Structure 1
Amino acid sequence: MSAMPFEDFETAYETLATAIDTAGTERETLFLTRLALVLGHELGDITAFRKAIKTALEGLEYDVHS
């Protein structure tokens, strides 16, 4: 699997931001969960899916004990 070209990455970011705004604050989490599952299904590779989740968590400030 290859990385998305930078130009497409920028477009993906803008598309995602617009979709999150469209979903609204109350449904943002539901939308992002559904999106992740749809993309995971399209990817068809649980190892890559888990790696993507780990990468997305990197750098986030969170307390694993809460």
Structure 2
Amino acid sequence: MSAMPFEDFETAYETLATAIDQAGPAREALFLTRLALVLGHELGDIAAFRKAIETALDGLE
């Protein structure tokens, strides 16, 4: 998997933050779950999908 250029990463962050705000607190978890599944489907690689989940979980404690 290739790394996203920093400028695109910033845009992705802003786009995601806006979408989370649009979903609202009551639907935030549902939105993020659906987004993860859509991106996993687009990725088409279960190992990479699992690695992304592990990376996202790392450091949440």
TM-score range, shorter chain: over 0.9
1:28 aligned residue: 28
Q: What letter is aligned with 1:5?
A: P
The structure whose Rg is larger is 1
1:38 aligned residue: 38
Normalised by the length of structure 1, the TM-score is: 0.91
Q: What letter is aligned with 2:49?
A: F
How many residue pairs get aligned? The number is: 61
User: Partners in 2 of 1:54 and 1:33 — Cα distance?
Assistant: 15
Normalised by the length of structure 2, the TM-score is: 0.98
- CA RMSD across the alignment: 0.4
**What residue ranges of structure 2 are gaps of 5+ in the alignment?**
none
1:19 aligned residue: 19
SS at match of 1:12: helix
Query: Is 1:60 matched up with 2:60?
Result: yes
Higher-RCO chain (CA-CA 8 Å, sequence separation at least 6): 2
User: Partners in 1 of 2:23 and 2:12 — Cα distance?
Assistant: 16
Query: Is 1:8 matched up with 2:8?
Result: yes
**What residue ranges of structure 1 are gaps of 5+ in the alignment?**
62-66
Task: Tell me which stretches of 4 or more aligned residues in structure 1 moved more than 4 Å.
Answer: none
